[in-house]
């Protein structure tokens, strides 16, 4: 999905979350580009970097734990290789750093949602420095 205001990078099932967030944002006049890297190794850095250089903002979304996960690696690479193109730090959104609940209903409460991604994207696009918990 092409966009101009922010890049949403979703891995695995979070691609659908990113797409839904982009729809929410589009209704508000924010154009989000959605990238599905498909693979982590090898990582298509060129596609990610080209998008971030265009939009100047990015959120990396993964259902794995936020700490020490794929979001950290992708954000690190974007910060290292596109720093001067960024208007805000790359934001990471992953599962809460808690044990994964057995109950599907409880598990759903620990992973990023489209509404949460859209809320953080709004803040990044408005120039608010945020930290997603």
- In this structure, whether the domain defined by 6-125 belongs to CATH 3.40.50.920 is answered with yes
Candidate from 7-11, 25-29, 51-55, 102-106 with smallest mean pLDDT:
102-106
Residue the block writes with tokens 């599907």:
104
As a whole number of angstroms, the distance between CA 68 and CA 83 comes to 21
Residue 31 banded pLDDT, cuts 50, 70, 90: very high
Section 78-106 average pLDDT: 94
The C-alpha atoms of residue 91 and residue 22 are separated, in whole angstroms, by 16
Question: Coil, strand or helix: which one is 14?
Answer: helix
Residue that has been written with the tokens 């959104």 in this structure = 93
| Cα 104 from Cα 82, distance rounded (Å) | 38
Is a pLDDT exceeding 80 seen at residue 130? no
Q: Residue ranges of the domains in the chain?
A: 6-125
Residue 62, burial from CB neighbour count under 10 angstroms (0-12, 13-18, 19+) = buried
- How high does pLDDT run on average in the chain? 95
pLDDT band at 56 (very low <50, low <70, confident <90, very high): very high
Is the model's pLDDT at 133 over the cut of 70? no
Edge-to-edge, what's the strand order for the sheet holding 32-35?
32-35, 6-10, 58-65, 91-95
pLDDT computed for residue 24 by the predictor? 99
Sign (positive or negative) of CA dihedral 49, 52, 58, 62: negative
């Amino acid at each position: 999905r092409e966009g101009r205001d922010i890049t949403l990078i979703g891995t695995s099932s979070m691609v659908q979350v990113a797409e839904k967030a982009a729809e929410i944002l589009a209704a508000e006049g924010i154009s989000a580009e959605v990238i599905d890297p498909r693979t982590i190794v090898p990582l298509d850095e060129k596609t990610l970097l080209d998008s971030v250089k265009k939009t100047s903002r990015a959120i990396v979304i993964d259902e794995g734990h936020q700490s020490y996960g794929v979001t950290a690696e992708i954000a690190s690479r974007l910060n290292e290789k596109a720093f001067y193109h960024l208007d805000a730090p790359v934001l990471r959104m992953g599962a809460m750093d808690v044990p994964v609940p057995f109950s599907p209903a409880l598990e759903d409460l620990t992973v990023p949602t489209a509404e949460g991604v859209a809320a953080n994207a709004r803040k990044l696009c408005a120039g608010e420095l945020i930290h997603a918990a």
